[in-house]
Structure 1
């Protein structure tokens, strides 16, 4: 059985706040994102009766925003599962780490998910990690 990640982080290609809010409302019954500082937005969703804090950081890497779910209580077991769901729902490219990061891992290797189910490992040297 796959181990549930303690939190989920994905990188979403340029997308409107309206589209992102609609997806978060659908997936986690989250109210719209609200400003939380320069280029940051936050809200709280719910999944199976548990609160899920959500943080969006615009322009986190290249043309991608970081979307972080600070909880293990999400509908997704892993970052990759979330990326697959988000790419289809938002019809945009989504990237995530290849798995849990450990010392010695290549920080520039990411998983890319495109709408329509195309996905695979990529090098992302401008990630800033």
Structure 2
């Protein structure tokens, strides 16, 4: 299975306290630290590697961006992380359709719903 160079997902509902606890459990990350308006950072660890983490509240259309700037994560692809978040927290999550390549449509995303439905959408222009 292809492993992406980084993971970025967008959460519709994101409690900082709940995400903080999950990041500690999954990546041994210390608490998120504020680094600016609506921006938080920490560094986790996975498989002996550091995993820089950036969280931006209200990054796009009310969604919180959660970015793991490393290929060394528990998830090989964005969708794997997104599925874990949906199952764990029961909230809508959006992520890229795949590893982005030049020429790909940057507005095509996968929408994952708590009901288990997954579908491709145009975002942010889709009005979803």
- Scaled by the length of structure 2, what TM-score is found? 0.91
Indicate yes or no: 2:94 matched with 1:85. Answer: no
The size of the alignment, in residue pairs, is 126
Indicate yes or no: 2:73 matched with 1:74. Answer: yes
Q: How does 1:33-112 map to 2 (within 5 A)?
A: 33-112=32-111
Unaligned runs of 5+ in 2: none
How far residue 13 of structure 1 moved from its aligned partner, in angstroms, is: 1.1
What secondary structure, in the 3-state scheme, does the structure 2 residue paired with 1:14 have? Answer: coil
Q: Distance between the aligned counterparts of 2:51 and 2:109, measured in 1?
A: 24
Q: Distance between the aligned counterparts of 2:111 and 2:3, measured in 1?
A: 20
* Alpha carbons 1:31, 1:44 under 8 Å: kept: yes
Query: Who is 1:21 aligned against?
Result: 20
Q: Distance between the aligned counterparts of 1:108 and 1:33, measured in 2?
A: 29
- Deviations for 1:39-73, whole angstroms, at most 9, x for unmatched residues? 10001111112111100011110110111001011
Q: Distance between the aligned counterparts of 1:28 and 1:57, measured in 2?
A: 18
Q: Distance between the aligned counterparts of 2:65 and 2:109, measured in 1?
A: 13
How far residue 14 of structure 1 moved from its aligned partner, in angstroms, is: 2.2
Unaligned runs of 5+ in 1: none
Name the Cα RMSD after superposition: 1.4
- Scaled by the length of structure 1, what TM-score is found? 0.91
* Alpha carbons 2:61, 2:124 under 8 Å: kept: no
Query: Who is 2:124 aligned against?
Result: 125
